Each structure stands twice: as C-alpha cells, then as structure tokens.
Amino acid sequence: MMPVYRNSWLPEVFNDLFVNSPKTNATAPAINVKETQDSYIVELAAPGMRKEDFMVHINDDGDLTIKMENKREEREEDKKAHYLRREFAYSKFEQTLILPDDVDKEKIKAGVADGVLTVELPKIKKEEHKVSRQITVE
C-alpha cells in the first residue's frame, strides 16, 4: 500500500476544522477545499439554494462561519380532484472553519453559482526583501 502524503496544516485546518457544527439534517453538503498560489478556495454543494439562503461571516475568534437555511413551502392545487397538497422542504446547515494564519481575512469573498457556494480565502501577500546590496569597504 502506498503512503498518503498531505500538507502538514491540511488535516488540522481543513479536515479537523469543523467545530460547532449543528446539523439539522443528517446529511451535510459536500465541501471541496483547494489551494492555489494566491488563495484557498472552499466550495460547498448547495443545489437549489439562492444567495439569500447563505450567511458567511468571520466570528470573534477569526474563524469563518458558513450558515445556510432553505425554507420553502410549495403549494399545488389540483382543481379536478378538489384538494390542496402541501410539501414542506426545510434544511439548515452551519459549519465553522478554523482558517490558516496566512489568510487575509479582510479580503474574503463569497458567491453562489450553479448550485455551488464558493468562498475565496486570499493569502496574505508577503513582500520579498532583496538582500543583495553593495557593501562599503572601510
């Protein structure tokens, strides 16, 4: 069996990062986390959800909290059968992610498209100081 190699921070931050996660329904949405040179991208499967159904914020501890709630009531009236049919759909989900230290918390962005909530966590840009210089001989 081949050994599995992972980034040293990944299990701590993105596998074991889910704290205080009350889940109303038994199944949680699928979450993808990917890293680019400039940012981390969190993708959460949310088919049928609208941007109004989400709340994404940084809490007092500097952790990212994602909440989504879908409460819809559909009514279908069949005039021929003379009855009213109601279907209630309700789902609620909340996750808190402990962010890596190199995330620029002031520049986090979130958007919803094609049933996926995408949260971009930009990395803090470190300025590289060049060390080459002329040394004066005294």
pTM of the model: 0.64
For 51, the token pair is 């941007």
pLDDT in tens, the chain (138 residues): 444 444 444 444 454 444 444 444 446 788 999 999 999 999 999 888 888 999 999 998 999 999 998 766 555 555 566 556 655 556 788 989 999 999 999 999 999 999 899 999 999 988 777 778 888 898
Helix (H) or strand (E) holding 93: strand 83-97
Give pLDDT, residue 108. 95
Give pLDDT, residue 119. 96
C-alpha 102/C-alpha 78 separation (Å) is: 57
Bridging pattern class, strands 64-78 and 83-97:
antiparallel
Amino acid at 31: I
For 91, the token pair is 């789902």
Give pLDDT, residue 88. 55
